[in-house]
Structure 1
């Protein structure tokens, strides 16, 4: 099967040449048509200059530059929509995802598997980052009812036709895994080797991962609204129980004049529940406003395609 490899690039001027140098021979050895799409996501360094040079001198490589930093998944979506081959692979730009493992993902695809995730043998991140990552995946699985969410990673391979399910997606908050879940449930995890990061630091902090989880759940699910309903029901039940206690004390002549502690606790509980409900509803209203305001998913500033270099062998 022919393959398009999409790589979102941010602050990766040092790693891109080595990544492409290792990736192209691996894809060439498969004997199928391929392309590599480098999507530079508004990187403030000279990543675009490096990507443009690689595209100008290396067959099968295309470079795309977004107008500003939109986020990893927005950049991925831009690349996926430009893919021209039967299958699409996404991978990071820091060489943690080994180019030599791409065939492992591609070989996992078939009639019964439309989406394959690369699952590392060992966790390379610190405990805090790992905990945040697991929390994000739990939020995906529970909040959006996605099976196998614990196997989700940025190292993916899928049949390109799956993108038809989100062809009309226009949102400033994008998650490729949620969008892919609209198209298929035939997903699997494949154990792959991964390397440690050798250049720079991860752009995903635990705080950003939590924010990413909130964007996914609030942007693609009504689970928080259902939670508010359950929270309201629980508070109502608690209020009914306390009312029963008060009535019992009243009719048994055990009620006391002093009840400030109970009253203050009840006010705090119900006020907190109301604030949670208002906050959740406010988030949804804010996202509706952003959507109606017409904020783009991404804007392509310029691109450098292999079609512009007919002298290179394809």
Structure 2
């Protein structure tokens, strides 16, 4: 008897999704069973404080294809996904949200696209079912992600993704507490694909991603995975320095040509304010990078697991 892992690992970060979990499990089971391949479902409970873990434990006790991982505290969606990716034993990993806005019935589309030879396939929605502010924040986040990933595919990025498990070797030793799965995947491949899927309205609870959290997530991405802020600070400083030299040249020319005093205090105060603002902006950006270096030096873990359900080996 040869031991082997499943063909598909479906990783789902769970946060306050107790109401949606039974329906999600039922629909996932029907979809994955129809693929005629062995599979496992990994629920990563991100310490949401509701009954999600009790539901996951009960399902895992009845179905050996279901595994549960409970975080010791709330680490965030991408950290929970990274935990699930490292726990996965399948040849292909699928990640999706827990709120049923990603219909499980759409998963075969991603698997079919992946079979065409892509390493990563995203499932962007035909139409997002969010509010105006949330959609605007998502657009900003994707622009920032495009800068961080240095790939046009960033505009197609979605939490619904399928990729080949061997890609995780590229970030096997990644330990920073600032995690973005999509950026990490670019460390392993540039062979991305996408297929549009349905995006259903949220019927249970509220999204954990508010507009403010999306903006903060975008800021974390641009400072954690890109040098663009430093480059912007340098360019701003360069232009302000050139502007300062031009003003100095203008003041000196007027002084020598008109043999009078240079322009008065208000003009000088405005120039000082411009330069002071530029310095504070640059210091703030540099400080953000130093703070991240400090966090990395402390060797702070990406996540910590509190408990697991049983994990039986798949057999053939």
Q: TM-score, normalised by structure 2?
A: 0.94
Q: Which runs of 5+ in 2 are unaligned?
A: 1-5
| Structure 2 residue 175 is matched with structure 1 residue 164 | no
Q: Which consecutive segments of 4 or more residues in structure 1 shift more than 6 A? A: none
Shift of the 273–82 alpha-carbon distance from structure 1 to 2, 3 Å rule, reads same
Q: Partner of 2:54 in structure 1?
A: 49
More displaced, 138-147 or 283-292? 138-147
Q: Which runs of 5+ in 1 are unaligned?
A: none
- The match for 2:142 among 137, 146, 162 is 137
- The match for 2:243 among 225, 238, 249 is 238
- Report the count of equivalent residues: 311
| Structure 2 residue 65 is matched with structure 1 residue 60 | yes
Distance 1:40 1:10 in 2: 6
Distance 1:177 1:144 in 2: 8
| Structure 2 residue 24 is matched with structure 1 residue 19 | yes
How far residue 246 of structure 1 moved from its aligned partner, in angstroms, is 1.3
Distance 1:164 1:254 in 2: 71
Distance 2:246 2:262 in 1: 19
How far residue 256 of structure 1 moved from its aligned partner, in angstroms, is 5.0
Q: Partner of 1:305 in structure 2?
A: 310
* Contact 1:133–1:209, Cα closer than 8 Å, also in 2: yes
Distance 2:93 2:140 in 1: 27
How far residue 254 of structure 1 moved from its aligned partner, in angstroms, is 7.3
More displaced, 254-263 or 213-222? 254-263
Distance 1:143 1:253 in 2: 52
How far residue 189 of structure 1 moved from its aligned partner, in angstroms, is 2.0
* Contact 2:251–2:263, Cα closer than 8 Å, also in 1: no
Distance 2:131 2:261 in 1: 54
How far residue 112 of structure 1 moved from its aligned partner, in angstroms, is 3.9
Does the residue aligned with 2:215 lie in a helix, a strand or coil?
helix
Q: Partner of 1:30 in structure 2?
A: 35
| Structure 2 residue 114 is matched with structure 1 residue 74 | no
- The match for 2:281 among 276, 280, 283 is 276
Does the residue aligned with 1:277 lie in a helix, a strand or coil?
helix
Distance 1:238 1:258 in 2: 16
